Amino acid sequence: MADYKAPTRDMAFVLKEVSGFRDMLRVGNYDELSEDLVDAILDEAARFAESVVAPLNRLGDQTGVALVDGTQVRTPAGFAQAYRQYAEGGWGSLQFDPEYGGQGLPFSLAIPVQEMLHAANMAWGLCPLLSQGAVEALAETASAELKQLLLPKMIAGEWTGTMNLTEPQAGSDLARIRATARPTDDGRYLVSGQKIFITWGEHDMAENIVHLVLARLPDAPPGVKGISLFAVPKFIPNEDGSPGERNDCYAVSVEHKLGIHASPTCVMSYGDNGGALGWLVGAPHQGLACMFTMMNNARLTVGLQGVAVAEAAYQQARAYAEERRQGSLPGSGEASPSSATRMCAEC
Ligand SMILES: Cc1cc2nc3c(=O)[nH]c(=O)nc-3n(C[C@H](O)[C@H](O)[C@H](O)COP(=O)(O)OP(=O)(O)OC[C@H]3O[C@@H](n4cnc5c(N)ncnc54)[C@H](O)[C@@H]3O)c2cc1C
């Protein structure tokens, strides 16, 4: 199989010449950013995607993920190390606010970087995809205190994020969500309920996972106007920001899928032992609006996955066509059977 080669020249061309990047740099919104730096970032991202992430794709798909000891998801060999390199390389922080440790670069520059990662290994790339959406939703809608608690770790890639909408009886129709959240005396909430199909809901690649969960408060009106959003970390953060006590939220099974075997799609159970401690994100009953920030981010990046997979498939197909020499060139003088003869020969 052909190795993935990131089309950095095309990407740089699209950024600079088609999407108006050059004009944006001229206006000076991004002091530190220059065309050379754009090229350097694309080249370095390509090196990472091609040499670290892509080689894990086939192996990851063959091995898949496993639920061990009832609740822990084991990812394929090499996935966690690659994720550590991703976090240390700052690849998850490109477009985020420097106030929380981000690099303050344009999102449009993060897009080709993500395309490379998805083309290299879509199953692996889904973890940063979800984290990025969770960061964006928290940055848009969480209180200053909650942002301070979660964003620096998530932007640094030390903690990942998930999106928890779907329940067994509530897929497209989110009005039917049943998960609940009870207020505690200290202004936090105890979340209970089951969520299904949660991408990267549990894994061993990062020290903590922040679940963004849709649930209903006790006084919630019915339907989508009664849904609130909660941040529920796998490990409850200590005051110094380190991950503390294990929260009451566990993966109870992992889906068997036709594809992306190395991406754990989890059934998550919240509150089996009294309630998973969570923080309200945004205003009560406005959860769906807050979650739409994350969903829109996910939609955009899932669209990008289409471009990425198409590029990877094209590279595979081209390599195969170049390798499999057959037939004769028109005008070469070599005898070539007519298409009718060919078809008969194959019959
Ligand atoms: C690999 C994978 C990863 C996922 N990751 C996540 C995740 O991280 N977090 C999360 O919350 N969810 C996740 N999901 C769930 C996904 O968001 C749901 O599958 C989706 O919302 C659709 O819900 P459903 O599967 O219950 O389908 P249904 O709602 O049962 O829909 C089935 C079909 O009926 C159609 N349909 C439904 N309602 C109507 C209607 N009123 N009129 C006409 N047609 C209709 C739909 O378009 C669809 O074709 C994931 C799913 C998959 C497969």
- Ligand 1 centroid to Cα of residue 296, in Å, is 15
pLDDT tens for residues 211-245?
Answer: 999 999 999 999 999 999 999 999 999 988 899 99
Tens-digit pLDDT profile for residues 253-295: 999 999 999 999 999 999 999 999 999 999 999 999 999 999 9
Q: Residue 22: its pLDDT value, please?
A: 82
For the chain, the structural domain boundaries read 8-320
Among residues of the chain, what percentage have pLDDT more than 70? 96
Is residue 326 over pLDDT 60? yes
Atom of ligand 1 nearest to the CA of 165: 11
Alpha-carbon torsion, ordered 320, 326, 331, 333, to 10 deg = 160
Integer angstrom CA distances of residue 73 from 35, 213, 259, 272: 41, 20, 17, 19
Strand partners, 279: 231
Q: What is the pLDDT of residue 334?
A: 81
Nearest CA among 134, 282, 265 for reference residue 215: 282
The alpha carbon of 166 and the centre of ligand 1 are apart by a number of angstroms equal to: 8
CA of 319 to the centre of ligand 1 (A): 36
Q: Assign 314 a pLDDT band (cuts: 50, 70, 90).
A: very high
HSE, side-chain direction, 13 A CA sphere, residue 331: 0
The pick from 130, 166, 224 for probing ligand 1's pocket by mutation, whose C-beta has the most ligand atoms within 8 angstroms, reads 166
pLDDT tens-digit readout, 161-192? 999 999 999 999 999 999 999 999 999 999 99
Distance 102 CA to ligand 1 centre (A): 33
Q: Going by CA atoms, what residue is nearest to atom 11 of ligand 1?
A: 165
State the average pLDDT over residues 101-125.
Answer: 96
H helix intervals, 142-222: 144-155
**CA torsion sign, 84 to 90 to 96 to 99?**
positive
The class that CATH gives domain 8-320 is: mainly beta
Instruction: Print burial letters for 317-335: b (CB count within 10 Å at least 16), e (below 16).
Output: eeeeeeeeeeeeeeeeeee
Confidence of residue 210 (pLDDT cuts 50, 70, 90): very high
Predicted pLDDT at 339: 54
Pocket of ligand 1 (CB under 6 A): 163-166, 171-172, 197-199, 265
* Ligand 1 centre distance from Cα of residue 151 (Å): 29
59 phi/psi in degrees, rounded to 5 = -60, -45
The reported pLDDT for the residue numbered 181 is 98
Question: What does the block give as tokens for 119?
Answer: 């083309």
Nearest CA to ligand 1 atom 39: 172
Neighbours of 289 (CB within 10 A): 15
pLDDT digits (tens, 9 = 90+) for 60-92: 999 999 999 888 999 999 999 999 999 999 999
